[in-house]
Structure 1
């Protein structure tokens, strides 16, 4: 049996929507689905913890009922899907990060219970996207129906992380039976392109996209692939706008530029907070 797809559920609409995405992903990958509920808030919120009692509280009946009901709904929607459930005496983020060590994919909603209403991404989702040991699917927006009409969208910049994201995106598009859109954001450099009006930058973009498409077609010769050279200053804003007509956007865990200590690059951070479709952060599997 392959590594499982892990979905964090807490009973919130966002997490239940994420569980439905996780069930579809597990069916595509031929993987079992594991629904995990970390029932301890980081500060004991909602759980009556006695500071003089050395033992952690056990799994609660409400959480178990929620898991059983969710599993039954997903199995009805995806016949043949193997669904397991478990509660873990830990916070949501630490639980999912630990589970990711032996997972095919971790799926989280963009918001769950708790936190502040104005936040676009919950703390659990943000931590898992930045620290997991496998790819992470952040379901955005949290309550939208699953859209399969648009292509899988991926941005490239010539970095190793972007190359990895490109191949993950191609595999996803092939498994979903949809097309792949490969986007590169370019902008003329005043130092180099001042005299030619940006022709040099435009040509570099065309060559980068052509090489990327050739690499994809080497693995997926029948996959429809669209090249999208986009002129713009802010790559993250261009990617967010392009995500409006995509079924999925795939982001590398880092790209060019920024600080080496960051676990997510600026474009990836922006996408997981603001994209108009689910975002797959193409983190490599640390156990493979």
Structure 2
């Protein structure tokens, strides 16, 4: 049964271990959200001819790629069912390159989940090109799941970076909602740094007053959300450091880190801010990138 017109949790599948890790994470998330799980394998119709191989025709190559994609989806569906037997699983082979195929899916999705690296990734790359592209342009929130042991202990928190940038409310909404679904505490981290200040002025600044002001800023940003989600335990953290480094350190014990698509000081036209990019590449847990205007759930 196709669930293409139902808002689904969509996962990109390519046969890699990283993609299967994403499938397992997404299966649990789909059940928590009471949404179908939609598995997508993209197949480009144009293929190259390996040197020394007899030319068997483009149609033969296409059929072989489609067959392998279906096999990848079969394995992914088994993995999903092993994690969540009640998950409603839909699967499809989509024609075209991965990025445009997944971008089309994201237009109707509640959430897009990807592994941190797919097949064909270069050793040493921290995040595959598909993940970077989709985090920057997808029409729905994107979660990148890194390989390794998930931090799914009950007391492991959801972490969200808080600043005054446009789109911050979308990230906060996603983070509070996710913490509520998981029954997990929420760490709201507001980072500030003296790195951009004139070094001549630094010794003369009233640091306690500045820190108190930063605490007030964080409390004000959270006030409406704590009232809306009284079930969520909120742990406020004001850190005198860069946001990317602070979020990366907090990710070591977190279940999920949530960031906006663009941060403070973002340049118009830059689809993914420097903090979001750094956290995507270096976080030790899954990372959700939330655009400024997420879709409203049905």
The two structures share one fold, judged by TM-score above 0.5:
yes
Alpha carbons 2:42, 2:69 under 8 Å: kept: no
What is residue 32 of structure 1 aligned with on the other side? Answer: 36
Alpha carbons 2:47, 2:58 under 8 Å: kept: no
Helix, strand or coil at the partner of 2:189: strand
2:140 is the counterpart of 1:134: yes
Helix, strand or coil at the partner of 2:91: strand
2:81 is the counterpart of 1:72: no
Alpha carbons 1:56, 1:89 under 8 Å: kept: no
2:88 is the counterpart of 1:82: yes
What is residue 277 of structure 2 aligned with on the other side? Answer: 269
Separation in 2, partners of 1:167, 1:193: 35
What is residue 129 of structure 2 aligned with on the other side? Answer: 123
What is residue 159 of structure 1 aligned with on the other side? Answer: 165
Separation in 2, partners of 1:158, 1:237: 18
CA shift, 1:71, in A, is 0.8
Alpha carbons 1:187, 1:198 under 8 Å: kept: no
2:114 is the counterpart of 1:108: yes
CA shift, 1:263, in A, is 0.5
Q: Classify 1:172/1:45 alpha carbon distance in 2 versus 1 (closer, same or farther; 3 Å).
A: farther
What is residue 287 of structure 2 aligned with on the other side? Answer: 279
What is residue 17 of structure 1 aligned with on the other side? Answer: 21
What is residue 168 of structure 1 aligned with on the other side? Answer: 174
CA shift, 1:278, in A, is 0.5
What is residue 57 of structure 1 aligned with on the other side? Answer: 62
CA shift, 1:217, in A, is 1.3
Deviations 1:255-280 (A, max 9, x none): 11131111011100101111111000
Gaps of 5+ in 1: none
What is residue 236 of structure 1 aligned with on the other side? Answer: 244
Deviations 1:100-150 (A, max 9, x none): 00000000000010031111001111111111010000012x233453441
Alpha carbons 1:5, 1:22 under 8 Å: kept: yes
Helix, strand or coil at the partner of 2:119: coil
Q: Classify 1:56/1:69 alpha carbon distance in 2 versus 1 (closer, same or farther; 3 Å).
A: closer
Moved more, 186-195 or 59-68: 186-195
Deviations 1:156-190 (A, max 9, x none): 11122222211210001001110000001113445
Give the root-mean-square deviation of aligned CA atoms: 2.6
Alpha carbons 1:13, 1:143 under 8 Å: kept: no
